[in-house]
Chain A
Amino acid sequence: MNTHPLTVDIHQDRGGPKQALLEVRELKKYFPVRSTGFAAAPKFVHAVDGVSFSVAKGQTLGIVGESGCGKSTTARLVAKLMAPDSGSMVFDGDGVDEFRGIALKDFRRNLQMVFQDSFASLNPRLTVAQTIAFGPQVHGMGAQEANQLARDLLARVGMEPDQFGARYPHELSGGQRQRVNIARALAFDPRLLILDEAVAALDKSVQAQVLNLLQELKSERQLTYLFISHDLHVVHYLSDQVMVMYLGQIVEIGPVERIYGHAVHPYTQALLSAVPSMDPAQRTLASPISGDPPNPIDPPAGCRFHDRCPKAQAVCKAQAPRLLSVAADAAHQVACHLNDPQSGHGAPASSATYAGLPLREVSA
């Protein structure tokens, strides 16, 4: 069941374990905004503005950030559901949709996506088995074989095929529908799975079951995950690497323990301090940052976080920080002047821990 005839050749590992499965370089997407005035200059929402990262084989990259920070747009760009304005991707050594690279069709079979809205992502007129079998069938698999594959996959995600195969999406619970979505994504035996807020709409107990299922599937099928979420607990649980986004840009990226233990960027620190704790001694008294993210149509000059940052200085308004490695760990990169000795920022970089996070004073 693990390999069906469609996918034998295009799914093999090419570059060995050290080569990143997916490398994304300078991805940009600006959405045009309808201009209000007559002959007004066209305006753009800077949804994703120069994002570069790589995902190692068999790892999970968690992408976190506030809503509107470009997480989902990044996912859609990576999935090629949307054409980027600029930027390129390399999948296991092959340029995606490039001359001598991997063809878009083959890339798509190697990469599947699970969406947030479990109901909207299933066709209400198809049975569960038909939905799962659709993909393989359009790639030439026989109806019988595709149906058998759908039944196998349903069983794998914990749903009795005899009982659920002929059901319609509205006859299932949210957790069951999300299992079906996972089964559909697995039908191509992909190597990379994009989980776009895949468990966000589920209640906690079901969420835990689905997360465990995802963990099992990952090791069983050597999957690599791109896990997008605003839930920091879930990201902590599932990810190997974490990428923090703010207004279409990466502010901090690194191994999960570095990010959760030694976050450098004031925004990441603020995000982490906003996570509710089970320990009553660690009560959050003041909100870590105030205000809403600035308008992505006119992002602030310099560091995009400067107008909400407690440590902002003159240099932050003037100059955009570069994404640089932290001294302690080369894999941990931060885009903040605090981390750049040459930036001219006065305060020394302080790496804060999850627990003892300096909260911003709320001045009355």
Chain B
Amino acid sequence: MKIALSMPVSAAPALPGAAPLITTPIVSPGYWGTVWAQLRRDPIAIAAAAVLLLLVMAALLAPWLAPADPYKASMIKRLLPMGSAGHWLGTDELGRDLLTRLMYGGRLSLLMGVVPVAAAFVFGTSIGLFAGYVGGRVNMLIMRTLDIFYAFPSVLLAVAIAGALGPGLSNSLLALTLVFVPQVVRVAESVTTQVRALDYVEAARMSGASAFSIIRVHVLGNVLGPIFVYASGLLSVSMILASGLSFLGLGVKPPEPEWGLMLNTLRSAIYLNPWIAALPGAMIFITSIAFNVLADSVRSAMELRT
């Protein structure tokens, strides 16, 4: 009856050249262990992570690394081309050092990418788990209410909310969060509904566990993966939307450095010095791509092989 994978002990001395018996238990590396091992072997994921790390470090360490003052303007040095002495990436329409402003701008832009998504992840997952686990009419009520938000294109909704709340950093963060919550709820709800119907959740209910511990132990772990992947895909969307809000004058106000806002103000220079005008856009592009590629790699690493 017993399933014995190791050789019988008595057989070992009879074979002098035999490999030693495996006596240590086979330890599984754990779920996150396998995900990490998978990611480490993925060169694209490593590259994307390195790019993101570089951008984050540059933004965080801007006060120490940046070559100039981001607010110091100069009428003589306006719109210098790339490679100018003292200004490697040139200057903007007010003669401010562009490299400096791009580094400082990363702080706000990355913040606007991460904060709304993180907040939407927390709230959206909670609402979605609740709706999916309870099901029935409660689920119907919650989901149909959120569908109203979902009916608007995200850009339009963000503009409408930010416009109603008025310009400013915190208002645009709030507007973006409100845009993302329904989307995260949808994913969370559909995954929870699927997981909830599985036999292991039924078995947990048979054990008399409370709804809270069933969700915590059996549901959360199995729904977090897909939600996490979806949310990480939203990071780049959030950055682009935030840039859009700033571009429209609904986000950060000048002279604060922010990539979207810089794109807006440098727009006037597009005929004079197109390379410089494209730089903030390029930053947004690079960051978005890095987020997306990394999210993609994490998703494929998180898939359970059965």
B18-42, CB under 8 A of A: which get 1 and which 0?
Answer: 0000000111100100000000000
Report if A213 contacts B (CB, 8 A).
Answer: yes
Report if B213 contacts A (CB, 8 A).
Answer: yes
| Contact yes or no, A167 B28, CB < 8 A | yes
Q: Which of A105, A160, A184 contacts B208 (CB 8 A)?
A: A105
| Contact yes or no, A117 B204, CB < 8 A | no
Report if B267 contacts A (CB, 8 A).
Answer: no
| A81-B217 contact in complex given A158-B2, A160-B3, A167-B26, C-beta closer than 8 Å | no
| Contact yes or no, A163 B25, CB < 8 A | yes
Task: Report the nearest B residue to A184, measured CB to CB.
Answer: B203
In angstroms, Cα B305 to Cα A119, docked, is 13
Report if A20 contacts B (CB, 8 A).
Answer: no
A117-157, CB under 8 A of B: which get 1 and which 0?
Answer: 10111111111000100110011000000000000000000
Report if B5 contacts A (CB, 8 A).
Answer: yes
| A124-B28 contact in complex given A81-B205, A213-B1, C-beta closer than 8 Å | no
Report if B272 contacts A (CB, 8 A).
Answer: no
| Contact yes or no, B199 A121, CB < 8 A | yes
Q: Which of A122, A159, A181, A188 contacts B207 (CB 8 A)?
A: A188
| Contact yes or no, B206 A113, CB < 8 A | yes
| A81-B3 contact in complex given A121-B200, A125-B31, A170-B306, C-beta closer than 8 Å | no
Report if B13 contacts A (CB, 8 A).
Answer: no
Report if A168 contacts B (CB, 8 A).
Answer: yes
Q: Which of A122, A123, A138, A170 contacts B213 (CB 8 A)?
A: A138
| A121-B203 contact in complex given A109-B208, A134-B209, A159-B3, C-beta closer than 8 Å | yes
Report if B221 contacts A (CB, 8 A).
Answer: yes
Task: Report the nearest B residue to A80, measured CB to CB.
Answer: B206
For B2, list chain A residues within 8 Å (CB): 158, 160
A341 to chain B, nearest CB (A): 44
Task: Report the nearest B residue to A173, measured CB to CB.
Answer: B3
Report if B218 contacts A (CB, 8 A).
Answer: yes
A184-223, CB under 8 A of B: which get 1 and which 0?
Answer: 1001100000000000000000000100110000000000
B189 to chain A, nearest CB (A): 20
| Contact yes or no, B221 A139, CB < 8 A | no
Chain A residues touching B, range: 35 or more
Q: Which of B27, B203, B205, B304 contacts A170 (CB 8 A)?
A: B304
B229 to chain A, nearest CB (A): 15
Report if A269 contacts B (CB, 8 A).
Answer: no
Task: Report the nearest B residue to A119, measured CB to CB.
Answer: B306
| Contact yes or no, A176 B3, CB < 8 A | yes
B184 to chain A, nearest CB (A): 21
Report if A309 contacts B (CB, 8 A).
Answer: no
Q: Which of A112, A139, A158, A212 contacts B206 (CB 8 A)?
A: A112
Report if B7 contacts A (CB, 8 A).
Answer: no
In angstroms, Cα B249 to Cα A201, docked, is 63
For A79, list chain B residues within 8 Å (CB): 206
| Contact yes or no, A115 B209, CB < 8 A | no
| Contact yes or no, A120 B198, CB < 8 A | yes
Report if A318 contacts B (CB, 8 A).
Answer: no
Report if B202 contacts A (CB, 8 A).
Answer: yes
| A125-B222 contact in complex given A117-B199, A134-B217, C-beta closer than 8 Å | yes
Report if A262 contacts B (CB, 8 A).
Answer: no
| Contact yes or no, A113 B207, CB < 8 A | no
B206 to chain A, nearest CB (A): 6
B203 to chain A, nearest CB (A): 6
| Contact yes or no, B205 A168, CB < 8 A | no
Report if B210 contacts A (CB, 8 A).
Answer: yes
6 further contact pairs, Cβ within 8 A, besides A115-B203, A166-B27, A170-B304 = A79-B206, A121-B202, A135-B204, A138-B213, A158-B1, A168-B31
Which residues of A are at the interface with B, using a C-beta cutoff of 8 A? 79, 81, 104-105, 108-109, 111-113, 115, 117, 119-127, 131, 134-135, 138-139, 158-160, 162-163, 165-168, 170-171, 176, 181, 184, 187-188, 209, 212-213
A-B contact pairs, 5 of them (CB 8 A): A126-B217, A138-B208, A139-B208, A160-B2, A171-B28
